[in-house]
Amino acid sequence: MVEKSKILIVDDRRENLIALEKVLEDLSIEIVTVTNGNDALRSLLNHEFALIILDVMMPEMDGYELAELIRGQKETRKTPLIFLTAMGSTDKLIFRGYQAGAVDYLFKPVDDHILLSKVNVFVQLDQQKKELERSNRDLEIFAGIASHDLKAPLRKIQNMGDFLKEDFKNILDERGIQYITNIQGMAMQLSKLTDSLLEYSRINKETESFESVDLNDILERVVNNLELQIQETRGDIRVGKLPVVKGMPFLLIQLFQNLISNALKFHRNEEPPRVDIEAKAIGNGFWKITIKDNGIGFDEKYSDEIFKPFKRLVSKSTFDGSGIGLASCQKIANHHRGNIMCCSEMGKGSLFAVILPE
């Protein structure tokens, strides 16, 4: 069961707080009331609120100052703020409130129905957020259990296959040995799939602060990591001048490694893979990094489908893989407040574009 949402009401007049609580009493929420900015800040240290209703005119610390302090803290900067203000407030003061971080205004005297409607919207959003967080936790727990409980017997299957081939090599014919090898291969594939599921479930769990990341360094590490695959495919990786972006290095390595590894994997038999990585500023504080290959390509009508988990456009017997890689790429890009898209043509190659903030 999802816990009740909490809202914080800040007003220096106790009678206003009582009146607001009375209006909201039928909602299934927990209400915390305080009469000044300092008490509000203390409450924010101890509780996570779905909404803050904040009076503008208060002594010592007014609503604008308090809002700026709330927005200045990492833990509370995304908490919705609604200002309470007198009906006669000027457009300039209202604009100042929005600049300070307000998402809405309520004008005194407050209309009960409007107050209930606005608060209920934010409570519903908070409940949906909590439900989604719980689902994500459940997914991570499941993936962790699957990884732990499945991999141990899978390792035994692989080991037992080796024992069978060694201990019964004088009895098994070539077909029998091939059957055992196939079983070991399927066990290995399932082991890789559980690892991929675990990685996928953990992406949004990462909460490290973003830092300045030089993508030139990221791509250098990616190319080093893929050195064996590059040699085996006779691949040609060409990296242009890349920018510095805000992000988490280990996730960005995973993102670009997945994309380049796919470009190397899905190449045409008659031609070694070539991968070109370039960057372009697209305005509004964002960069577009493109990864272009000369591989087998795919029908562009599937350009959205390929980012769904387990979606495969080619036969497993032709190209191995978990079907999680591109889904993880999209999740990482979104986690960085960016995006990923692609275009492709059968038999001519694909181009993936990753959008990342500066």
Question: Is residue 354 located within the same domain as residue 260?
Answer: yes
Given a cut of 90, whether residue 6 has pLDDT beyond it is yes
Lowest mean pLDDT among 18-22, 258-262, 321-325, 342-346: 321-325
The pLDDT mean for the chain works out to 84
Retrieve residue 328's tokens.
């993880």
Residue where the block lists tokens 């242009």: 240
37 vs 290: CA distance, rounded Å:
48
115 found inside a domain: no
282 vs 285: CA distance, rounded Å:
8
Given a cut of 70, whether residue 311 has pLDDT beyond it is no
Given a cut of 60, whether residue 24 has pLDDT beyond it is yes
Last residue of a domain, one of 185, 204, 223: 204
Last residue of a domain, one of 204, 220, 245: 204
Confidence band of 237 (pLDDT split at 50, 70, 90): very high
Q: What is the CATH number of the domain that holds 276?
A: 3.30.565.10
What is residue 255's three-state secondary structure?
A: helix
Mean per-residue pLDDT for 48-73?
88
The pLDDT value recorded for residue 72 is: 85
Question: Is residue 187 located within the same domain as residue 314?
Answer: no
Helix axes 14-24, 112-167, angle to 10 degrees: 60
The pLDDT value recorded for residue 125 is: 92
Question: Is residue 188 located within the same domain as residue 304?
Answer: no
Last residue of a domain, one of 54, 78, 110: 110
Cα dihedral 322, 344, 240, 260, rounded to 10, equals 10
Name the more confident of 204 and 138: 138
Name the more confident of 161 and 139: 161
Question: Is residue 71 located within the same domain as residue 196?
Answer: no
Percentage above 90 pLDDT, the chain:
33
- Cβ atoms of 199 and 236 closer than 8 Å: no
Alpha carbon 126 to its chain centroid, in Å, reads 18
Question: Is residue 194 located within the same domain as residue 214?
Answer: no
Domain count, the chain: 3
Scored b (16 or more CB within 10 A) or e, 134-166 reads eeeeebbeebeeebeebbeebeebeeebeebee
Query: In terms of residue numbers, what domain contains 79?
Result: 5-110
Retrieve residue 79's tokens.
């908490």
The pLDDT value recorded for residue 301 is: 77
The pLDDT value recorded for residue 251 is: 87
Question: Is residue 102 located within the same domain as residue 56?
Answer: yes
Name the more confident of 133 and 21: 21
Q: What is the CATH number of the domain that holds 47?
A: 3.40.50.2300
Question: Is residue 189 located within the same domain as residue 255?
Answer: no
Q: How many CA atoms lie within 13 A of 68 on its CB side?
A: 9
Confidence band of 52 (pLDDT split at 50, 70, 90): very high
Question: Is residue 276 located within the same domain as residue 351?
Answer: yes
The pLDDT value recorded for residue 146 is: 67
Q: Is the pTM of this model over 0.75?
A: no
Q: Which amino acid would we find at residue 152? A: A
In 3D space, the residue among 221, 214, 255 whose CA is nearest the CA of residue 237 turns out to be 221
Could you say which DSSP state residue 318 is in?
A: T
pLDDT tens digits for 273-289? 999 999 999 988 999 99
- Cβ atoms of 305 and 326 closer than 8 Å: no
